[in-house]
Amino acid sequence: MDASSFHPPERTLMGPGPSDVHPRIREAMARPTIGHLDPVFVGMMEEVKDLLRYAFRTENQLTFPVSAPGSAGMEMCFVNLVEPGDKVIVCKNGVFGTRMQENVERIGATPIPVEDDWGAPVDTAKAARALEEHPEAKILAFVHAETSTGAASDAAELCRLAREHKCLTIVDTVTSLGGIPVEVDEWGADAVYSGTQKCLSCVPGLSPVSFGPRAVETVKNRDAPVQSWFLDLNLVLGYWSGEGGKQRTYHHTAPINPLYGLHEALVILHEEGLEAAWARHRQMHEALKAGIEAMGLGFFVTPEARLPQLNAVTIPAGVDEAAVRARLLEQYNLEIGAGLGPMAGKIWRIGLMGHSANPTNVLNCLGALEAVLADMGAEITTGRAVSAAMAQLGQ
Ligand SMILES: *Cc1c(COP(=O)(O)O)cnc(C)c1O
């Protein structure tokens, strides 16, 4: 075997995640690995939990990063709160709602799907009807920011409806956290999970979660033990809580250096301020939109439901969309995303997440996309996109 060190190219990541990792986070992750029960490391973990409470806007004690990607955060919420035989209303308007349903089925519980078109937000009236028709439902689960389509749903209203019907909520905030307002306490959300590689601009592989008092009660009062050993909150807590001077116990070895990275990502978010980060995502979206529209391209999602951090752009007729992405990657070191499932071949997904949401990226992306499309003979308006974006940015 002939093996040598791997040196990835420097890319600009403007897909559905991972986003560009901030250089400060890369540097933080290169620091010395220490023991995961080392008091210095434990001190950092406490700060990570405080910073996550800041990001989620919650006082929930039980707020910490799961040592695995966003999908594990999803699974942690479902396996701890749902028991065999339970009924769970699952709102489905894209890939991730469908995965929620699979989680419910694998637990041996019954999903009650509430379906909306891909690209549309969850219809709160339909969710309300499902809650009325199924008073026995224990949980309402939905995705706040559907990364597969770029649609945002009304989390405040969905959580309000669920509370009105004495239903718990599981909310996917993987793509929303740090990009648009996530208000865990104001919403009264019971269990939320997120990811690190979207608007937090950290490396993938960790999943911040937060559980409110009703969710904790539910987990404590379970009949059956949680079927997953690794994701059983009762066990994980022995390691992550250690509150009131309780001794932390070994559960698994925490991913030490990635946690340095998450700590740095959250410090960066705190320095900028949540509101400022939300405003920046919005501004960069407005600039990208000005350029996309100046080129004569459109958006898949209606303006009210559009996520600033995930732009679903319609593909001009007759264009080989995969060839466009390949050329962007080869010639411009720029990654944008393809459509998933039924959206394949219909949209590109241009991410403006976290550190990736900056003016340079917006202008580079528009310039590169225009150059490639024009060269491929696509019917677009040329020479206007970059200046339209610059005007929007006030440059
Ligand atoms: C990315 C994503 C996930 C899954 O996160 P992974 O880190 O890829 O496991 C779940 N939900 C949504 C909405 C996502 O965008």
Domains of the chain listed by start with CATH number: 23-270 (3.40.640.10), 274-393 (3.90.1150.10)
Q: Is the shortest distance between the CB of 151 and ligand 1 below 6 Å?
A: no
> What pLDDT does residue 245 have?
54
Q: How far is the CA of 61 from the centre of ligand 1 (A)?
A: 24
> What pLDDT does residue 250 have?
84
Considering only CA atoms, give the Rg of the chain: 21
Backbone φ and ψ of 66, nearest 5°:
-70, 140
pLDDT tens profile 160-182: 999 999 999 999 999 999 999 99
Distance of CA 6 to the CA centre of its chain: 28
Cα separations in angstroms, 316 against 33, 285, 297, 346: 49, 20, 7, 9
Q: Is the shortest distance between the CB of 97 and ligand 1 below 6 Å?
A: no
Distance of CA 393 to the CA centre of its chain: 26
Q: Is the shortest distance between the CB of 69 and ligand 1 below 6 Å?
A: yes
Q: Check: pTM over 0.75? Answer yes or no.
A: yes
Helices vs. strands in the chain: H and E counts, helices first: 14, 13
> What pLDDT does residue 246 have?
64
User: Which residue from 152, 156, 172 is spatially nearest to 164, judged by alpha carbons?
Assistant: 156
Q: Is the shortest distance between the CB of 333 and ligand 1 below 6 Å?
A: no
Contacts of 197 (CB under 8 A, 6+ apart): 17, 18, 19, 69, 70, 203, 204, 205
Q: How far is the CA of 126 from the centre of ligand 1 (A)?
A: 25
Do the Cβ atoms of 201 and 21 come closer than 8 Å? yes
Tell me the H-state helices in the chain.
23-29, 39-56, 70-81, 95-107, 124-133, 155-164, 184-187, 213-220, 233-240, 256-272, 274-294, 321-332, 359-375, 385-393
Residue nearest to atom 5 of ligand 1 (CA): 70
Q: Which residues of the chain have pLDDT under 50?
A: none
Residue 348 sits at the vertex; the CA angle it makes with 345 and 350, to the nearest 5 degrees, is 165
Q: How far is the CA of 70 from the centre of ligand 1 (A)?
A: 5
Distance of CA 322 to the CA centre of its chain: 24
Do the Cβ atoms of 386 and 291 come closer than 8 Å? yes
Q: Is the shortest distance between the CB of 172 and ligand 1 below 6 Å?
A: yes
pLDDT tens profile 283-312: 999 999 999 999 999 999 999 999 999 999
- What one-character DSSP code corresponds to residue 192? E
Q: Is the shortest distance between the CB of 61 and ligand 1 below 6 Å?
A: no
